[in-house]
Amino acid sequence: MQITYETAKTLFISAKNKEKGKKIANNTYIIKINDHTYGIKLHDTNVVILYSNGGLILNSSGWKTQTTKDRINYALTPKNLQITSKRGEWYIEDVLFFDKMEIYNTGDIEQNPIQQKMEIAKKKVDKMVSAYIKGFVEDMMINGLEYPSDGDCWYCRLFKSNDVDHLISHMTEKYYVPSLLWNTILEQGYPNPTLIWDIIKNDLDETTPPYKKVVPYHAKRALTKYFRKRKNTLIQEMI
């Protein structure tokens, strides 16, 4: 079924009980809100408010059921839009659904303010992490790699792996410390992490100028996985 403002107006005129509205589906009625506004009412919730200018307000009232989605889609279909589910969340196009969101008369979709903040934070985190890993690898290829020591970052030595504030400070300061790399290798669950460390160190130490040093594959892989695991927490911290 497709419902526009004009459709709703016509259906409501045919309603015998104007107070209750025009029934269009199970527990679903077209109601008149005022002379320029109609609603698609499911149970006690106006899941869609239709304005005379073509705009819509959508509201699940927290009931994100298949029926609610179907009723809202009645009004979205004429605009070539639909609610779809991705990983348990509702989206319209690529915009995260939220209650009382607006579909403008142009067909544009109101952006979820939370999603906007998350997208901005995600881009910032991706950029910071990528630059940090690249810098870490380049620093190893230029300066080699020393074993963790007491002169290293004491916080990393304590393996405070969930403290993203500390990780952000390292990225901001471009502070490349052996203890952090050691933590990333430990987290990969290698049966012999010391062997992996020695492979990285030997590749870096044994290549002499004018030959280019070997890119530390194991180090780059461990750093990438380490930061990927903490990506959501880093995004929340940025927000």
Query: Is the pLDDT reported for residue 136 higher than 90?
Result: yes
**Range scoring the smallest mean pLDDT among 19-28, 111-120, 191-200:** 111-120
Ordered by start, the domain boundaries in the chain are 5-111, 115-238
Residue type, 76: L
Per residue in 182-195, pLDDT tens?
A: 999 999 888 999 99
Query: Is the pLDDT reported for residue 239 higher than 60?
Result: yes
Q: What is the pLDDT of residue 211?
A: 62
Tokens coding 13: 């005129």
Per residue in 71-116, pLDDT tens?
A: 999 999 999 999 998 877 899 998 889 899 999 999 999 987 877 7
